[in-house]
Structures are given as structure tokens and as C-alpha cells.
Chain A
Amino acid sequence: MDILKRYLFLYTRHRGPYFLGAVFLIATNAIALAIPRVFGWAIDDLEAGATRGLILSYAGAIVVLAVFQTVMRVGSRIFVLSVSRRIDYEMKGMLHKRLIHLAPSFFAATNTGDLMSRMTNDVMLVRALGGPGVLYFFNAFVMYALGLAYMVSISWRLTLVVFLPLPIVAVLVRILVHRVRDYVTRARIALSDLNTIVQENLSGVMVVKSFALEEAQNLRFENQSATYMDFGLREAWTRAQMIPVVGLGGGLAAVVVIGFGGRMVSAGDLSIGDLVAVMSYVGVMVMPTVALGWILSLVQRGAAALERLDEVLVAPVTISSPDSARPIGDGPLSVVIKGLNFRYDDHLRNYGGILKLDETFESGRRHALHKIDFVAKEGGYVAIVGRVGSGKSTLLKAIQHLIEVPEGSVFLGGVDVVEVELDELRQRVGFVPQDDFLFSTTVFDNIAYGQPDASRGEVDTAAQIAGLLVDLECLPDGLDTVVGERGATLSGGQRQRVAVARAILIDSPILLLDNALSNVDAETERKILDGLRANAASNAGRTLVVVSNRIGAIQDADHIYVMDEGRVVNHGSHAQLIQRPGLYADMFEQQRLSAELEKL
């Protein structure tokens, strides 16, 4: 219940509307009790012989009460239920706010489908707790209070006795509630997994179809759906048991009333009418008690959901702006990396909660970066080449502070990146990630993503440098063509170049290209790189760092770093590097050889 205490503020924040809702609810119930009273008087008067006028005034009174009752009832529902919708709104806002600031390492370790399930299905339960849960709780509470008051006024001794079976019921309910909680949690996880399957299936639909995996996917989905159903049913089974348990309580209470009350009657301490009244109040209180069981399970569901949401909300933001940031200035920037070591899995422990890792978690993977020293001067053009998985992308991410770099290892313009305001840092570094992710909006909006107020002219220029103009002519609506999710309705090369244009547009002093033109033909690549160089030159000192697999494309770089297994194994200019035996010379020879071969 600790979790509920911690998130109680979600609900208490709305105590105003809740209070009003409760007042209205009490008023509604009071009126509901008053109407039979009025009717009773009317009957009494009718028996005594009443006039039409009197009857009409009774009827009129009832109608007036009805109007009041309607207003009160509408009010109580609107107040309470609206709060639940606001809680939904606020909770999603809180979650989104946290998610959007979590480091990429978090997202590499979690699943989109799971996160989404938390943000939709689990929030739903939190909301149900704040709406119907509270409403029914108020209702039950009012009923109890009224019933109890009446009972005590009749006989406090009998009232005390009635509640004798309560502890037994409470213990049983507690056991059930515990089990409900367990099943709820498991059902939530199963639903998350189900969501993940759907999400993955849809994202990878091309592979699913190309390899005819539909049937396998169907089976996987059906199994998971069955698992989810199974936990749902177990929860229902346990939850439904609360009804007989509460019934048992009611039964015992009735026994006590008749047994003990009977004795009181024969002793002359109680009239039969009073006994019957107490009996009927016990009856009246059974249903709210059943409802209370239901509310308890709502609470359990809400708590289970909150626990899962809490895992997101407490996930540490591992990359954030420092408290007192140092500016990096407006001018051209150099990039210096000193002895950088980095291992991805080291940072997983931060997310131990949501990943369910234990204290002893230890990864056996090697360092992605090992004692890296790297320099790119202001306005310089530096290239990085290396084998698959050698750490090139990781190095670029370090410059953008997209990975958790240690203090004193990465410097932009002489300032340690961990001391720089994140926004400022990232605005000064243009980045074309290897994953050419586009949003499903227009090409225009994608290019202008980093600078939404960019003019048509600026976007055109960026598109032109990225060599997109020819393609734009082919697209149905040119720049205003909407692309599919992840840019799915563009060709591979088009997508990459939109991503390049997006980075060019923000006109930053540093530009990082991570294999950004791997799906583009040689001719186009050449043009784009030349354009970029020209643009950089006219831009007085844009520092260009390019990762590429094509040595031909980057050999005119000022300086080339060669990486292998997370280390810089060589660096120098092209002319220097081909003289030294090693990976670079091999690669160059390889490409030259094939070129020569073709010439024959």
C-alpha cells in the first residue's frame, strides 16, 4: 500500500471537486430517502380523506424534490468522474515528461510496446480508481454511515454484536486481496507482452511477410493472448470469491441478530419492530459491502498499475544538463576526446527496477570504446572508418552526449560536454544518425524538424545540398508529400538524404554523419559530400565528422581515424595511412583491387 501512499497526491490534488462530489452525493441520497417519506404522508392523509389540492401539493413537492435530486446527482457524477479524466490527463503528462528526458540507453533496453501498454492500459486502471472507485466508495461510505447511525439509535448493544464476525471477514478478504494483486500484476505484464508482440509484428511487417512468418506470429499472439486471458480469469475467480466471503459475513451477522436479538426480545429489552429494523439495515449494508470488495479490487488494480508506472517515473535520467552550465560559445567548435572508455551494459544497472535486474547484474560484453583519443579541429574535416561494430557510431554519440560519457573525456570547444546545457550542446551539433528515422509528416516538416520555423527557402537549400531536388520532383506533392511511418514510403536513399537535409538545416558548427549515405549511389554521394564541403567552407568553419564504409568517399578528409574493436588503431591523412600496413591499407587495397579488376 506504500505505492498508493506515494501517489495519493494524484488524487488528493483534486480534493475540491471530490469534496463537492461527496456533498452532492449525500444530498442525492438524502432526497432519495425523503421522497418515500412524503409519499407516506400523502397516503396517511388519503386514508384520513384528503382534498385534491392537498394531493396535488404533495405531488408538486415530489416533483420539486425530483428536480433537486437530478441536479445533485448530475453534479456528484460530473465532479467525481471528471476528476478521473483529469488524472488520466495528468498521469500521461507526467509519464511522457519523464520518458522524453530519459537517455537512449533506457530505450535500447525496453520495448516500445511495453512502455505504451503502461502509458495506456495501466493509466486506465489508475483512472478507474479515481473515478468509479471513489464514487462507489463514497456511496458505500454514506450508506454505512446512515445505516450505522440508525442501528446505534435503535440498540447500540445489538450493533456491537452485529460487527462480531467482521474480523473473520476482514482476514479472508485480506488474503483474497493479496492474491488478486498478484494476478493483476501478472495480467498487466501479460498484456504488456501482448502489446509488444503486436508492436513488433507491425514494425517488422516487411520481414514477417517476406519470410512468410504470419502463421508463426499468429500462434505467438494467440499464446500470449491466452496467457493474458488466463491471468484475467484467475483474477476474476479470486475477486468473485469475495462475494461469498462477504455473504458469509452478512449471514453470520444475521445469525447474531436473530440469536442475540431474540434473547433481548424475550428479555423485553427490544421490540420486535426494532429487531426487524436492525435486520433490514444489516440487509441494506450487505450490498455496499459487496461493493466494497469490488472497490478493494479496484484499489489493487490501481496499485499494481501504479507500481508499473512508478518504474518508469523513477527511472533515472542519466543524461541531463548540469546545475551550473558552462556556455560553449557561438563560434566554430573543436572536438576533443581524451581516453574515453565506454561500455553500454554498465548503464543498464541504472534501470534495474524496470528491467528487473538484481544487484549482481554483470555484463560480459566488451567495451564499445577503449581509451579513445580523438581530435577534430575547428572547421576540420575528419573521417572515421573501421570494421563492423568497431565503435564508430558510439564515438559519434559521445560527441552528442547521447551516451553516458564520464567527466573529463569529451570536450567541445574546450568545454567538457557534461558541463554543457544539453539543449545548447545538441543545437550546436548536427547529427545524421545511422538509423534514418523520419516522422510520419511531410518531407518539409521532417527537414525542418530541428527548426520548425524555418522558411521555405531554407528548407529548399538544405534539400538541395542533400541532393533531394530530383526526388522531390518525383514525389506526388513534392516537399508536402507525407511520408509513412519511419519514412516507409520513401526509397532507402531518399530517406537518408532527408535525414541529411534535416541536420544541415539547423546550421550547426559541428556536423556528424554516421554512414549517412550508405544507400545512395556513388554519383549522388559525391555531389552531396562536395556540396557539404562547399557549404562548410562558406560557413566559416563547420567541423565535419564523417563515418563511412567507402574509403573512396572520405579520402580527402584532413584526418582519418581507423577503428577496430573499440580502439583507434591508426590515424592520419589518407596519404599517410596507405603507407602504413594495417586495416586502412588493407581496406583501401581491397577497394582498389576490385576497382582495378573491373577496369580490366
Chain B
Amino acid sequence: MPEGRDLTVLRRLVPFIRVHSSIVVASALLLPALAASQLVQPYLIRIAIDGYLTPASRGVPGALSGLTGLVLLFVAVLFGEMIVRFAQIYLMQLAGQRIMHDLRCTVFRHVQRLSMSFFDRYPVGQTMTRVTSDVEALNDLVSQGIVSIARDLTMVVGIIGVMLWVDWRLTLASFVVVPLLLGILAFLRTRLRAAYDRVRSLVARQNAFLQETISGIEVVQAFVQERRNQKDFAKVRGDILEIELHSVRLSSWLSALVQAATTVSTALVLSYGGFGIIESTVTLGILVQFMMYLQRFYQPLEDLSDKYDTLQRAAAATTKIFGLLDVESEVREASNMVSMPHFRDRIEFKSVTFAYPSVSEAAAAAKLDEANIAISTAAPVLENFNLTIHKGEKVAIVGATGSGKSTVIKLLLRHYDVQKGSITVDGIDIRGMDQQSLRRAFGTVPQDVFMFTDTIAANVGLGVFDRESIKDAARVVEADRFIMTLPDSYDTRLGERGANLSFGERQLLAFARALAGGPAVLVLDEATSSVDSETEAQIQRALDRLIEDRTAVIIAHRLSTIRNVDRIVVLHHGVIREVGTHRELLDLDGIYARLHRLQLQEMVGADGVT
């Protein structure tokens, strides 16, 4: 669907253009120079003919002397024109590229501010399309369009003025077709715009599909779905092709009809003017003059019709880009936010209730058209959750899979905002804090390990921490061992997501990353799930020393890893069912005791001992 009128949409580009208005203006100022050069050239030719060639052809001796100077002048003018053209084109490119650079950076910055619920919903490929391809689609408009559209418009208006001044009746006669033309344009416009809107949407979908296929290629191949994948991709491409062909037809008609209008008005002027000549109300000179004006009038109009196509294309891309820029972060920055103070006392969850943002709401708010997820009503994941973590305390959260453990951590880091209750650090609600300063206080090992395509050192140090702390952290988590076997040790470059490492190795690096900054609070979400028990135990010993007096929140399924914590919270379907030390919980003989017994049986009971 065409969203908004072109001008309204394109007006939003104005601030971006204005920043570089001096370049645009400079480029526009070169236009008169071009016009002048084009006027001068025929004049010089006339002098050459009348002053030199004609006498020469009559055999006047020495008539050609002095022609050389004139010729050189002519060449100078022509060359000057080319230089001006060169400057004008380059300046437009300069403005265009800068505008696109600004726009790209603005979009990217904006995306960085969005909260997790956005990323849960919008495929990576789609957002990528907005940041790069859609901006790229504006290229034609910003680097060729702006000045030439302005030029063509002035030209058209100017010519209409002159024509009216010469003979208003003839002018009217030649413009009889204009209303018809405008009607056709309006008719094609909506269709063209709708087509381009759809192209942009489909391209985003195609890219999302591609990026997912490439990311999941191993699954595609392992499950022998290459053919289906190919078929699905062919379908998306086919949809795009269809709508593209449709738009080609529309834009071809658009430009051809404008041209037809020129010709038809020529016929009109000819007959009306011809009658005038027969009645002697019009002179032949006026008629010819009009014809020439008409040509000059329709030339820019034809250009405009090409630009019109560009404009529609750009408007479609702009709509998408600003659609994304209009999405607001669901985690809002408070107007009077404070920087997170040095962690002194305690973290408190006070009767927190939380449900993941319902998708339909988010999609409606986002107004992007390819919301990944359909309607759903999310049930609360956490209900009336209360927990106080004192400084220096180590708290473990256990519970069945899907019980909401990771969610607690995501809320603590304010990836989402709670719906009821509050989370405070040292008595200050985290909603009033600067998000980044809050998060810097934590060192997190997320359940999903992610590595950047960069060196190991950069992945652990994140470009912030020094080499020593990187190595120290790597030693604590036993990553040092495998890193030293790599040809470039810490400077080894990782593949995408750490593709050239084993899973456990990646997890160790993620662990090291969380430790490297010496965070006030350590947050471990299944931090050793892909690590063997031998290595795990070694890490455990080193870690116990390291975080002796540090605050830590630990999630683990292997209960052996949490036996030393000060408090264990048992979560069940989003509700805290048990809280206490290991001993207390065993005495309580509830969920924890049962889980524990199970793991114990496995280990101790299996070989028949005990």
C-alpha cells in the first residue's frame, strides 16, 4: 500500500539535505554557467560563418586569417562547459553520498537504541535491508534528482510564462492536453508507488530469507531441504519479478505518454495556429516560435517523467526507512535519568510481574509490514517475583527449563521493562538509570554465546580491556590452554559467530569476556553448559577464589556448580517456590531436593556403590 503522499514522505529527507545545502546550492549555481555556454557556442559559429567562411567561399583572399583565434575560443568555451559539467556532477555526487552516509548512520544509531523486543520480532535480514539497500535506493534521487528536478521545474514554469506573454490563446490551445496528462500521471502514480512499496517489502523479505538460509545452512543440508529451500527462494524471487515487471510496464507507459502529449500538442498548435494564419490573426513566425517553445517545454517534462519514476522509487524506500526510524524503543530512556552509581548495597526485585510484549501490540506500534510473528497473547513469564541480592552475595536460580530463569537476568539488565513492580539497584529504580551505565556494572555470560568476526583478544576485551586482564580472564576460565595452541594465539581471527572454534571453546571465551572487565556483579546463565566436567571443576576452583567477595547471579542446571552459593532460588513456572541455602532446601524436601536426588542417583547410584 502506498503509505503517505510522496511529498510528505520526501519532506522528511529535507533535514538531511539541508545539512549539505551549500554543496547543493553550489551545484545549482553552476547551471547558469552551463546555459550561458550553450548560448555562446551557436553565436561563435554564426560569427565563424558570417565573418570568415562566407567570405572565403566567395573567394575573398585571406578571409580565413583570424579564424584560428575564433576556433580556439570556441574550443575554450566548449571545454569550459565540460569542466562546469564535471564540477556540477561531482558536487551532486558529493552531496548525495554525504546525505546517504548521514542517513545510514542515523538509521544505524537508531537501531542501536531499540530494545530487545524489536530484535525478537524483526528478522536480521530485513533490518539490514533498511540500513543498507533501502538507503542505497535513494542514491538516484539524491545524487541526480535534487538539482535537475529543480532545474526542470523552473524551466517549465519559465516557458509557460513566456508563452502566455507571446500569445495566451495559443498557449491555452497547446495546453489542452495538460489536464488529461495530469490525470494519467495521477492514475499511474498511485499504481507505481504501490508497486515500488511492494518491491521494497519483498526485497526485505527475500533478504531475510537469504540471511536465515545462510545462517542455518548446516540444518538445511543435514535435513536435506536444499530443494525446498530453493523452491521457497524461487517463490520470493518470482514474486519480486512479477511486481518488478509490472512496475516496468507502468513506468514505460508513464514516459511514453508524456512524449505522446508533446506530439499531440504540436498537432493542436498546428491546427489552431494554422487556422489563425488563414484568418491572419497569427503570424507564421509566432507559430514556429511556439513550436520551439513547446519542444523546450516538454523536454524537461519528459526528464521529469523519468525523475518521477525515480521519485516514486525513492519515496517507497524513504517510507520504509522512516518507518524504521519511527519505531520507538519499548525500553524508554527516562527524561531525568541518572548514571548508575557505584554498586554499594543491594539489588531488589519487588513484586515483579512480567510478560513478554505481546507481538501484535508491538507490530502495530512498529507499523513495519513484515512483522515476523502473528497475533499472540503472552501469559506472564514471571509473577510476583521478589528477590533481594546483597552486595557480595552469590545467588543461584534453578528450575526446570522454560521456568523463567533467563528472563530474570534479561529484566535485571533491562532488556525489557517489567509490567508490574520494580527492580532497584541501591534503591534507585533501574528505569530511571542510564541503560549503558547500568549494564556496565554487570559481566554477563548469556545462555546464547555470540562471537564477533574478530580476533580472540578483541572478542574477550571488546576493545576496552587491556591485554593483561584479557589473559588473566582467559586463564581463569581455562581458555588460555587452547588459545596457546592456535597459530596466532590471542590474535587468531575467529570466523562468523566463532565458527572456527568448538562450542565449548566459544563458551569459555564468552566467560572470559564477562570476567575481563572485573564487573561489580557477575551474571552467569548456564555459563559452562558446553564444557566438560573436568574443565568445569577447574574453572569452578579458580572462580571461587576470584569472586570470593564479588556479587554473582548464577543459573545452572548442573547443581554441583552452585553448591557454594549463599542462596538458591527455585523457580517454577515463573513463581518462586523455594528459597534458601543448599542445606535448607534439602531439608525442605521440595523441588530442589528432588532434582538433587536425581542428579545424585545418576552419579553415585550408577556404578552400584552406595
Q: Is the CB of A218 within 8 A of B49?
A: no
Which residues of A have CB within 8 Å of B604?
592, 595-596, 599
Question: Can you name the residue of chain B whose Cβ is closest to the Cβ of A433?
Answer: B218
Q: Is the CB of A200 within 8 A of B97?
A: no
Q: Is the CB of B248 within 8 A of A78?
A: yes
A430, B288: Cα distance in complex, Å = 82
Which residues of B have CB within 8 Å of A55?
270-271, 274-275, 278
Contact with B along A221-258 (1 / 0, CB 8 A): 11001101100110011001101101110111011001
Q: A414 an interface residue at 8 Å Cβ cutoff?
A: no
Q: B81 an interface residue at 8 Å Cβ cutoff?
A: yes
Q: B245 an interface residue at 8 Å Cβ cutoff?
A: yes
Q: B277 an interface residue at 8 Å Cβ cutoff?
A: yes
Write the nearest CB–CB distance from A105 to chain B, whole angstroms.
9
A-B pairs with beta carbons under 8 A, tally: 543
Q: A568 an interface residue at 8 Å Cβ cutoff?
A: no
Which residues of B have CB within 8 Å of A37?
none
Q: A148 an interface residue at 8 Å Cβ cutoff?
A: no
Question: Can you name the residue of chain B whose Cβ is closest to the Cβ of A481?
Answer: B376
Q: Is the CB of B56 within 8 A of A212?
A: no
Which residues of A have CB within 8 Å of B284?
43, 46-47
CB < 8 Å neighbour of A78 from B249, B257, B526, B594: B249
A449, B374: Cα distance in complex, Å = 20
Which residues of A have CB within 8 Å of B104?
221, 225
Which residues of A have CB within 8 Å of B600?
595, 598-599
Query: Looking at the complex, which of A6-14, A150-158, A483-491, A535-543 is the stretch in contact with chain B?
Result: A483-491
CB contact list, A425-480 vs B, under 8 A? 426-427, 431, 433-435, 437, 439-440, 449-450, 452, 470-471, 474, 476-477
Query: Looking at the complex, which of B121-129, B148-156, B314-322, B466-474 is the stretch in contact with chain A?
Result: B121-129
Which residues of A have CB within 8 Å of B120?
484, 488-489
CB contact list, B484-498 vs A, under 8 A? 485-487, 495-497
Knowing A39-B291, A272-B49, A431-B222 are in contact, say whether A59-B267 is a contact too (CB < 8 A): yes
Q: Is the CB of A112 within 8 A of B211?
A: yes
Q: Which residue among A42, A51, A387, A452 has the maximum number of chain B CB atoms within 10 Å of its CB?
A: A387
Q: B436 an interface residue at 8 Å Cβ cutoff?
A: yes
Contact with B along A573-600 (1 / 0, CB 8 A): 0110010000100111011101111110
CB contact list, B219-236 vs A, under 8 A? 219-226, 228-230, 233-234
Contact with A along B79-115 (1 / 0, CB 8 A): 1011101100110011001101100110011011100
Q: Is the CB of A210 within 8 A of B212?
A: no
A386, B534: Cα distance in complex, Å = 9
A212, B113: Cα distance in complex, Å = 11
Q: A174 an interface residue at 8 Å Cβ cutoff?
A: no
Question: Can you name the residue of chain A whose Cβ is closest to the Cβ of B528?
Answer: A549
Which residues of B have CB within 8 Å of A196?
453
Question: Can you name the residue of chain A whose Cβ is closest to the Cβ of B523?
Answer: A210
Which residues of A have CB within 8 Å of B495?
108-109
Query: Looking at the complex, which of A64-72, A327-335, A369-377, A404-412 is the stretch in contact with chain B?
Result: A64-72
Q: Is the CB of B530 within 8 A of A518?
A: yes
Q: Is the CB of B57 within 8 A of A266?
A: yes
Q: Is the CB of B503 within 8 A of A526?
A: no
Contact with A along B114-158 (1 / 0, CB 8 A): 001001110111011101110010000001000000000000000
Q: A160 an interface residue at 8 Å Cβ cutoff?
A: no
Which residues of A have CB within 8 Å of B278?
46, 50-52, 55
Q: B385 an interface residue at 8 Å Cβ cutoff?
A: no
Contact with A along B257-288 (1 / 0, CB 8 A): 10110011011101100110110000010011
Q: Is the CB of A100 within 8 A of B83?
A: no
Which residues of A have CB within 8 Å of B530?
388, 434, 515, 518, 549
CB contact list, A327-369 vs B, under 8 A? 344, 363-366
Q: B175 an interface residue at 8 Å Cβ cutoff?
A: no
Interface size, chain A (Cβ < 8 Å): 195
Q: B190 an interface residue at 8 Å Cβ cutoff?
A: no
Query: Looking at the complex, which of B8-16, B343-351, B556-564 is the stretch in contact with chain A?
Result: B556-564
Q: Is the CB of A594 within 8 A of B119?
A: no
Q: B43 an interface residue at 8 Å Cβ cutoff?
A: no
Knowing A39-B266, A210-B439, A279-B45 are in contact, say whether A243-B101 is a contact too (CB < 8 A): no
Question: Can you name the residue of chain B whose Cβ is closest to the Cβ of A231?
Answer: B97
CB < 8 Å neighbour of A520 from B89, B105, B557: B557
Q: Is the CB of A389 within 8 A of B501?
A: yes
Question: Can you name the residue of chain B whose Cβ is closest to the Cβ of A63?
Answer: B267
A423, B222: Cα distance in complex, Å = 9
Q: A194 an interface residue at 8 Å Cβ cutoff?
A: yes
CB contact list, B193-221 vs A, under 8 A? 203, 207, 210-221
Question: Can you name the residue of chain B whose Cβ is closest to the Cβ of A555?
Answer: B606
Which residues of B have CB within 8 Å of A107?
214, 217-218, 496, 499
Q: Is the CB of A426 within 8 A of B223?
A: yes
Q: Is the CB of B275 within 8 A of A52?
A: yes
Q: Is the CB of B241 within 8 A of A519?
A: no
Q: B1 an interface residue at 8 Å Cβ cutoff?
A: no
Q: A159 an interface residue at 8 Å Cβ cutoff?
A: no
Q: Is the CB of A590 within 8 A of B116?
A: no
A250, B80: Cα distance in complex, Å = 12
Q: Is the CB of B230 within 8 A of A97?
A: yes
Q: B607 an interface residue at 8 Å Cβ cutoff?
A: yes
Q: A175 an interface residue at 8 Å Cβ cutoff?
A: no
Q: Is the CB of B377 within 8 A of A476?
A: yes
Q: B602 an interface residue at 8 Å Cβ cutoff?
A: yes
Q: Is the CB of A206 within 8 A of B277?
A: no
Which residues of B have CB within 8 Å of A423?
224
Q: Is the CB of A70 within 8 A of B256?
A: yes
Which residues of B have CB within 8 Å of A99?
213-214, 217
Question: Can you name the residue of chain A whose Cβ is closest to the Cβ of B98?
Answer: A229
Knowing A69-B260, A211-B439, A433-B219 are in contact, say whether A244-B83 is a contact too (CB < 8 A): yes
Q: Is the CB of B105 within 8 A of A221?
A: yes
Q: A89 an interface residue at 8 Å Cβ cutoff?
A: yes
CB < 8 Å neighbour of A100 from B113, B230, B559: B230
CB < 8 Å neighbour of A77 from B49, B214, B255, B573: B255
CB < 8 Å neighbour of B128 from A199, A207, A233, A240: A199
CB contact list, B27-50 vs A, under 8 A? 45, 48-49
**A to B CB contacts below 8 Å, 14 in the list:** A62-B263, A78-B249, A121-B132, A202-B128, A203-B450, A251-B74, A266-B64, A423-B224, A435-B503, A450-B223, A486-B215, A549-B531, A592-B604, A599-B600
Given contacts A202-B128, A222-B108, A481-B376, 16 further A-B contacts (CB under 8 A): A42-B270, A69-B259, A77-B256, A86-B241, A93-B237, A96-B230, A120-B129, A196-B453, A216-B463, A218-B112, A221-B104, A229-B100, A258-B48, A426-B222, A550-B558, A587-B532
Q: Name the 10 nearest CB pairs between A and B, nearest first.
A: A493-B401, A247-B82, A552-B602, A364-B487, A388-B504, A66-B263, A594-B560, A55-B274, A476-B376, A236-B93
